[in-house]
Structure 1
Amino acid sequence: MLSFPDFFTACSGKWTTERIYHSMPQGSIERSYTEYQVKPISPTDKQRILTLSTQAGIKVEVQLATVQQEDLPGFAISFNTRSETGETVSMSLQALFVPDTYISAESTAVKLPPPVAAQIATQPEGEVIQGFYLRDEGYSEAGTAVGRFTYQPTRQTLEMTTYYRRSVAVDQMRMVAPNLRLRTIVTYQRPDNTNEIPTIIDLVGFGVEQRSV
């Protein structure tokens, strides 16, 4: 069983991914191939992302100059994706994961209702770690992205829910072996009412990710 920080250490390295995407409105299917390079995030980049997060109303009670910085894990990712139609996408980003125990009561960020795919039981207390997921770049929309995450140590599963302007993406990553991960992605239409649970699914994706040895 991987602890919260150990999960991110285990994610480092070069990964290759075969994915299949189902577009629900069109009923179409598309495949893609991706190469990832994942590295630990540096303390400098952690501080930079935390500075960006204040713009979203998130205040963190932690001094990154102390050992507590290990309790805020993350990674730096660069990847190249090629679809079966020949379309290519390249991107680099840094992501930081801040458990709720480090979120100040002075924070003004709102915890929006999660889609069904991201709902999870949090009892017994301590079995699941939850918090804010911060990225310096989004996937489907440019700019800083803020979302929520859950980590289940017993299942070695990290789930990230990102709220974009027009959509809500639920991305799950499960480590099933030291060099093998399962990946699922469910994208919803974002309701006009921010208090409404997203229910309309636009895209569902599945993937198997293997680390190069």
Structure 2
Amino acid sequence: MRLRNIRRKLQQSQRIYNLKQRLPTDQPSLPITDETVPTEWLTLIKRMRPSPENSSSIKTAIDQTFSYRRRWIMTKSPTVGQIFKEYPRFLDMPALVDIEFSKMTDGKEDMFIKKWEGTIIPKLKEIASFEKKMYIRHLLEKADNQQDDELCYTMLRILVHLLPPTASGRSVAGSKCCVNSAISYLLELVPVCIVLDFYKVAMSHATTL
């Protein structure tokens, strides 16, 4: 009632409500921590030798620097090379990447795998069917005659082609994001018979030299 009575005494121009600008809700808020704390953990990550004995300490350091690292990536958009230089244990301890992804997705890291074949692949096929680009249509026709791992690989390639560029517009090399750069990180699936034929040819050449 007091607020209503005060409002009655205001002039018309003073009654206008100005909506304050709010922070976007799609980005998680990261707590501001003491900048001297991550420095000690970063030193541990870089200097401690990766071994079973040191695994627990390194995992703790990765966990303690998570908020700092996410803020750095979101604000500075470093390349993959720069991230690995700052956090080299991600390279020789691949399990840390799984832990990182789990924290980023709030423990839902397996949802993509669960829904991949039953939900995501059918939707990808439907979306790709409207594409007029020849290489996407070629991959889609190829997927129609594939199963299991070969189908998954082809659909992953289609997904990479359909995804928009990153917000920073940068690839792992630091240049403008490109599909070929992303595709290069996928492992090509080659039937076993082809590998054996190649091996036989290589050995025959080796014996003749």
TM-score norm. by structure 1 comes to: 0.24
Structure with higher RCO (Cα < 8 A, 6+ apart): 1
- The higher radius of gyration belongs to 2
